A and B are shown apart, each in its own frame.
Chain A
Amino acid sequence: MKQAIVIDRLRLKFPGSDGLLFRDLSLSIAEGEKVLLLGPSGCGKSTLLQVMAGIIPHSIDAPMKAERLERPERWGYVFQDPDAQFCMPYADEEIAFALENRSVPRREMPARIRALLDQVGLEIAPHTDIHTLSGGMKQRLALASVLALEPDVLFLDEPTALLDEEGTKAVWQTVKQVGRGKTVIIVEHKIDHVLDFVDRIVLFGRDGRIIADGEAKAVFSDYKDVIAAEGIWYPGVWDDYDRTARRRNRHQGEELLRLSHFRGFRGREAKIYVPKATVHAGEWIAVTGKNGAGKSTLLQALMQLIRTDGEYMLLGADIKRQHPLYRHIAFVFQNPEWQFVAHSVREELAYSLRLEGRPEAEIEETIACLLREFDLVEQQDQHPYQLSIGQKRRLSVAASIVAGQRLFLLDEPTFGQDAKNTFALLEMLEAHREQGAVIMMVTHDEQIVRRFATRQWVIEDGALVRDEQLEIREPVLTEGGAGQ
């Protein structure tokens, strides 16, 4: 069979880093193959994808050499971040950009744009503002503009990492349709929807070497332990998690929070309304609802970031008398980077404690403890922005809860995280809950709600419309699975 890509003895290194990312890596991919590249974060899968496409060294400079390197003529590349791959404000203009690059005559453009939108299942007017699209729709638009290049090879670099379940499904469904007859090479951490599409899996180790390369189903079943250990979302990952999870203590403590006719405002408009609610220590509340329903607004109102009225009692006192609030409430943003204020991991953790004027010895002790608990000991002197996405998330949580707060407000904290980090984070929150904290967490993930939440708040059109206690769903216990 004819080869679409041939790499022979590739060596590559990033400037300033120690050692090579790839040492004599060889890989070839036949025309029409659907290949999944799997491996731990930092193993170089995305880099390899960029080398295959020629983005390295054409657009990104990195010292590299190879005995032989055959790359496809016509290719398209979909990136991870839906907001960082468009250069035009409207959908039609974005697709037209790709057509212009290929010097397609102007009079042919409108028809082609319509056809491409149909092909990826986007039923929108061509002249639609890209800002108004959901993440899943943006990624399908990205796919449409890539298809405008009439590629033989499609490179997909974690296209659904930042999407919710619905968006993820829609994107993979589209890829399956448009990928027919093309070579498709995928890097992905969430493989539930990909597994039945790919013929071949290439599994990488931490050192950038290929551990396994073969027929998809065979590699998946033979190397399931490795795949699980690397934090990849595979089908049945939650069932496996349940087997190791421990029994939970569902005891509830004293009243922590009381709301009555509570409203939060943006400008003059009330954007969130809670008729009545009391929350006790030891509760885990999952805040769910559609995009734009007002879930994040609720958290912002509780943190008093926006103007509120009505009754709001925290720890038995009116909220106005509990300032500064960061002593009682920990708030974790969706993007961890926003809340970093220091230049190193250590300083980040120390920040709130210094603000409180705690003695230096105590601060040192607390930091040492947190670094261990959150697995950040090796990174303690790095700049927070330089951490991996999982490390950033852990740091943002660690730095937020350092002052011993009782109420945790979290806005989709597991978003874009791999399985390993997600489980670690949830376990950690669970431990704090058992010690009497309240976890209030916006999430789209039904699996998390079922396993961790004791209570669910459904937000619809800016109001709390349903408040229900959830049945305790004990993990399935098998032999030796109860301890931790």
Chain B
Amino acid sequence: MKWEVRCRETWLHETNPSLKLIVLVVLFFAVLFIHNPNVLINVSLALFVLFCFGTGYPANVLFWLFLPFFLVFVSTASSMMMFGEGTTTWVRWGLIHVTAESFWRGVHIGFRALALGLLGLIFSLTTRPVPLFYSLMQQLKLKPKYAYSFLAAVRLLPMMLEEFQTVRYALTVRGVPNKGVLSKVKRYAIPLLSQSIRRAQRIAVAMEAKQFSGSGQRTFYYEIGFGKYDIWLVALFAALMFVAYYMGVHYPYISIRDVR
């Protein structure tokens, strides 16, 4: 079963995964503390450009990946717009009360959700699991016990997807009625989980049988180091934040500076 879309490798693929993770987490918190919608809109747009041209995926794939983000944008924004508190009333219709403050606050958290989503997507589109966990072990001293467990589990993913299909067939064959969300979750979860759990236990035994100790000295088949693209990465994001901030403060789209 093909579940991985082939893509062109870009320079973002070449950066050190641990560094990329740290940079993006820092950005994540930075975005959380931006309360000026002008700055946030700039950041979101910049990330959107990077998402479109920096990840190396074809346009149709990017479109389908982006669609749910748009949904999140709308749903996050709308609920704050309609029910948030504020003083300058625009519309009042039953329980719905749109104020200027709540409207811009809604727009702001919509863009925030969008920016955070793009950060994650840029990371997952340009990072392969094996280099990621090798890098986490080498740069961030993640214990091999955890790193290899993750890798083994990721390897099981395509198998689980195939099994999911088989269980679906089996339930049809046995004439199991198709109703209730939770009872359905259970019908699928029990065969899938019990199979996966037993497989996980066996893999763990097999790994220890290959003298895997989970800690202590070991060598690495892949050395993950740093290169010129890592400097690009840090420089790009620093520049991005600076420009977004500068432009947002000096050339604002709207007059509101703080949505709180």
- The answer to whether A and B interact is yes
Out of A81, A86, A102, A338, which one reaches B170, CB within 8 Å?
A338
Contact B169 A305 (CB under 8 A): yes
Q: Does A351 contact B (CB under 8 A)?
A: yes
Contact with B along A87-122 (1 / 0, CB 8 A): 111001100111111111110010000000000000
Interface residues of A in 23-51 (CB under 8 A from B): none
Contact A101 B211 (CB under 8 A): yes
Contact B212 A339 (CB under 8 A): no
Main secondary structure of the interface of B (DSSP, over half): helix
Out of A59, A89, A300, A399, which one reaches B169, CB within 8 Å?
A300
Alpha-carbon distance between A434 and B125 when the two chains are bound, in angstroms? 58
| With known contacts A93-B130, A97-B148, A331-B173, A79–B167 Cβ distance under 8 A | no
Contact B187 A341 (CB under 8 A): yes
Alpha-carbon distance between A81 and B159 when the two chains are bound, in angstroms? 14
The A-B contact count (CB < 8 A) is 130
Contacts of B217 in A (CB 8 A): 103
Contact B148 A84 (CB under 8 A): no
Q: Does B32 contact A (CB under 8 A)?
A: no
Contact A101 B171 (CB under 8 A): no
Contact A98 B211 (CB under 8 A): yes
Contact A99 B166 (CB under 8 A): no
Contacts of A293 in B (CB 8 A): none
Q: Does A187 contact B (CB under 8 A)?
A: no
Out of B172, B176, B211, B219, which one reaches A149, CB within 8 Å?
B211
Contact A145 B210 (CB under 8 A): yes
Contact B208 A337 (CB under 8 A): no
**What is the number of residues of chain A that contact chain B, defined by CB distance less than 8 Å?**
54
Main secondary structure of the interface of A (DSSP, over half): helix
**What is the number of residues of chain B that contact chain A, defined by CB distance less than 8 Å?**
44
| With known contacts A87-B151, A88-B130, A300-B169, A337–B195 Cβ distance under 8 A | yes
Interface residues of B in 199-247 (CB under 8 A from A): 199, 202-213, 217-221, 223
Q: Does B257 contact A (CB under 8 A)?
A: no
Q: Does A419 contact B (CB under 8 A)?
A: no
Contacts of A84 in B (CB 8 A): 198-199, 202-203, 206
Alpha-carbon distance between A54 and B40 when the two chains are bound, in angstroms? 59
User: A: which residues have CB within 8 A of B?
Assistant: 53, 55, 58-60, 76-77, 79, 81, 83-89, 92-93, 96-106, 109, 130-131, 145-146, 149, 300, 303, 305, 324, 326, 331, 333, 335, 337-341, 351-352, 355, 385, 399-400
- 12 further A-B contacts with Cβ under 8 Å, apart from A84-B203, A98-B210, A103-B218, are A55-B208, A60-B205, A84-B198, A84-B202, A89-B129, A93-B221, A96-B221, A99-B221, A100-B219, A106-B221, A303-B173, A341-B174
User: B: which residues have CB within 8 A of A?
Assistant: 129-130, 148, 151-152, 154-155, 158-159, 163, 166-167, 169-176, 187, 191, 194-195, 198-199, 202-213, 217-221, 223
